[in-house]
């Protein structure tokens, strides 16, 4: 441990929260940056324990099987013209899923088409019998969890929700469908993540990315409004701390960022 930099030792501490031992190459990729290091005490950096890789190898094997389900779903969702990106997130993106885990997906759509795209996606998945999580259903193993929806107008993360956890979640995203450089735009717009994890991703130069949002036609806007109202009416009584707007849907009933930050404080 003495041969590691402070940023690498801090990374060991962070990933220990997820029972995730790091390989040598991962220690470099996930080295904590200057802003993140402020969260770690000197004592913590001197006493960070290591973990066994045995459990991680088993989780990797499980993750690869779940990834095949995600790829099948992504191939299907790519047929919807308004869907611009489908990406794996959460523990599956880190190959750290357990047998009981669901399959977290992030979906980005054209401007002003989120709810119409979501409605079409759910219909399509049901038609092809690809299981997905529904409100109130306890069983989640191998089910798609479509818990993060954005349209292309809101790719930048809210400033009050930028921390070491959300930075890691964005950096670990694995795109399965990526139309019009949407994944590259997501990273570039959220380059603040490099303050926490400076080696985690490589950004394309802005000049190599085509920005620009196509204007929605009146019919699309009309259908989108109907789709939003129908789905919002259905989920209104179930909403707790989820974010539901015309351009964004974040279905996270628990504040995982706060949970991780609290655990991190307790580890210091």
For the stretch 159-181, pLDDT in tens is 999 999 999 999 999 999 999 99
User: In which band, very low, low, confident or very high, does the pLDDT at 136 lie, cut at 50, 70 and 90?
Assistant: low
Please give the pLDDT value at position 137.
65
Mean pLDDT of 110-124: 97
Residue found under tokens 């006493």: 47
CA–CA separation, 12 and 4 (whole Å): 10
Residue found under tokens 């045995």: 54
Contact 153, 174 (CB under 8 A): no
CB atoms within 10 A of CB 259: 12
Q: Are residues 183 and 231 in the same domain?
A: yes
Contact 100, 140 (CB under 8 A): yes
Parent domain of 43: 6-53+263-267
Q: Are residues 175 and 251 in the same domain?
A: yes
Please give the pLDDT value at position 1.
46
Residue 268 has pLDDT above 60, yes or no: no
Q: Are residues 104 and 11 in the same domain?
A: no
CA–CA separation, 31 and 98 (whole Å): 25
Rounded-to-10 torsion of CA 76, 81, 82, 88: 30
Q: Is residue 1 included in any domain, yes or no? A: no
Q: Are residues 49 and 63 in the same domain?
A: no
Q: Is residue 106 included in any domain, yes or no? A: yes
State the CATH number of the domain containing residue 194.
3.30.460.10
Buried b (16+ CB within 10 A) or exposed e, 222-258: ebbeebbeebeeeeeeeeeeeebeebbbbbeeeeebe
Q: Is residue 81 included in any domain, yes or no? A: yes
Give the ranges where the chain is alpha helix by DSSP (H): 6-16, 24-29, 34-37, 42-46, 54-77, 90-93, 114-127, 164-171, 182-189, 218-235, 256-267
* Interval 221-248: pLDDT, tens: 999 999 999 999 999 888 888 899 999 9
Q: Are residues 28 and 94 in the same domain?
A: no
Q: Are residues 107 and 175 in the same domain?
A: yes
Residue 93 has pLDDT above 90, yes or no: yes
Please give the pLDDT value at position 143.
93
Locate the DSSP E strands across 96-202: 103-109, 144-151, 174-178
Residue found under tokens 């047929």: 79
Q: Are residues 234 and 116 in the same domain?
A: yes
CA–CA separation, 105 and 89 (whole Å): 6
User: In which band, very low, low, confident or very high, does the pLDDT at 135 lie, cut at 50, 70 and 90?
Assistant: low
Count of domains observed in the chain: 2
Please give the pLDDT value at position 47.
67
Residue 159: strand, helix, or coil:
helix
Q: Are residues 165 and 44 in the same domain?
A: no
Please give the pLDDT value at position 81.
96
Q: Which two tokens stand for residue 204?
A: 């394309």
Q: Is residue 247 included in any domain, yes or no? A: yes
Residue 103 has pLDDT above 90, yes or no: yes
Q: Are residues 91 and 130 in the same domain?
A: yes
Q: Which two tokens stand for residue 30?
A: 């996930």
């Amino acid at each position: 441990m003495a041969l590691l930099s402070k940023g690498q030792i801090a990374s060991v501490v962070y990933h220990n929260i997820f029972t995730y031992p790091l390989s040598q190459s991962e220690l470099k990729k996930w080295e904590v940056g200057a802003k993140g290091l402020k969260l770690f005490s000197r004592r913590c950096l001197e006493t960070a324990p290591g973990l066994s890789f045995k459990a991680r190898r088993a989780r990797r094997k499980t993750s690869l099987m779940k990834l095949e389900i995600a790829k099948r779903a992504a191939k299907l969702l790519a047929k919807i013209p308004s869907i611009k990106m489908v990406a794996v997130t959460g523990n599956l993106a880190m190959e750290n899923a357990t047998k009981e885990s669901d399959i977290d997906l992030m979906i980005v759509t054209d401007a002003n088409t989120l709810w119409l795209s979501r409605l079409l996606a759910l219909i399509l998945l049901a038609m092809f019998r690809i299981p997905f999580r529904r409100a109130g259903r306890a069983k989640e193993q191998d089910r798609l969890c479509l818990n993060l929806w954005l349209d292309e107008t809101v790719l930048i993360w809210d400033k009050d929700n930028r921390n070491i956890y959300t930075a890691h979640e964005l950096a670990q995203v694995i795109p399965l469908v990526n139309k019009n450089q949407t994944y590259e735009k997501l990273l570039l717009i959220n380059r603040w993540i490099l303050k926490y994890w400076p080696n985690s991703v490589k950004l394309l130069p802005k000049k190599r990315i085509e920005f620009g949002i196509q204007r929605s036609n009146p019919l699309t806007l009309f259908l989108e409004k109907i789709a939003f109202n129908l789905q919002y009416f259905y989920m209104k009584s179930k909403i707790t701390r989820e974010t539901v707007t015309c351009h964004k849907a974040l279905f996270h009933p628990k504040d995982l960022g706060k949970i991780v930050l609290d655990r991190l404080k307790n580890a210091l």
